[in-house]
Amino acid sequence: MPYVTVGSENSSDIKIYYEDHGSGSPVVLIHGFPFSGAAWEKQEAALLKSKYRVITYDRRGFGQSSHPSTGYNYDTFADDLQKLITELNLKDVTLIGHSMGTGEVARYLGTFGSARISRAVFIAPIPPFLLKTADNDSGVDASVFEEKKSAIIADRPHYIAEFIKNFYKTEKNLGSPVSSEKSQMDFNVGTSASAIATLACVSTFVTDFRPDLLKINIPCLVIQGNADAVLPFESTGRLLAKTLNSRLVEIEDGPHGIPWTHAEILNKEILEFMSEPKESKSINEAIIIGTFS
């Protein structure tokens, strides 16, 4: 299996597992918490069909990547991504992140710039800044994240099961478009992640990406469901789109897990965005798309 070595801990190398398929312009897909690169199966199929080269990878601590006890911060995550892009000598890349993966997109561009990156897509994003502070009234109170940590420490499998319910809004969507088997598959992936990583990553959710966003100079697309029960739409996707002067696609009644529940809509928007001339950039354009039937 393909790995890139990104560091070491004691006697072991820290390796990032990736998959690299197809040919054409490269697309790097960065998954959300607490899953793996396998979460992109519906997007990977659509991108390969449209003749793109598709690279997925598992964040350190998750999936088939190494499970070290350190490095769970966005500086390290962005450095891991840089090592992967450099190892594969990728150029003219479209970076696509979902949820926690949007943090890598923002921090990577803020740290390493856009020399190798042509476009970026933020799906159900964490940026700009999720924590409520004196200069960020729309954020989430710090106590919420402390409660998440306590829940993970007390019973990580139960926490993940409840997280998946919120991820898909299963009280409405279980059965169709989210089967019980899909929910179980995600539970299996989530619980197979490092317990250390699962807990540590909660602290990364409150990273302030506002300085990174000021450095982004490439076309960006922001897509989010307005019924997102994991990341509040008004203080994440809507605010991010204004900060980036980018196009915002608001999916009516979409939950956090739109790469699965609204894959057809999401894939269409991504492919249309990627087909636009590189020089074009939609400024403060917002559209609302209806939910599935």
Q: Write out the catalytic residue numbers.
A: 99, 228, 256
From CA 97, how far away is CA 119, in angstroms rounded?
11
From CA 34, how far away is CA 56, in angstroms rounded?
15
From CA 105, how far away is CA 209, in angstroms rounded?
10
Which element (helix H / strand E) includes 141? Answer: none
Packing angle of the helix pair 195-204, 100-112 (nearest 10 deg): 60
User: First CA to last CA across the chain, in angstroms?
Assistant: 40
- Tokens read off for 46: 């659509």
Which element (helix H / strand E) includes 180? Answer: helix 180-192
CB 29 within 8 A of CB 55: yes
From CA 176, how far away is CA 112, in angstroms rounded?
41
From CA 216, how far away is CA 212, in angstroms rounded?
7
From CA 87, how far away is CA 70, in angstroms rounded?
22
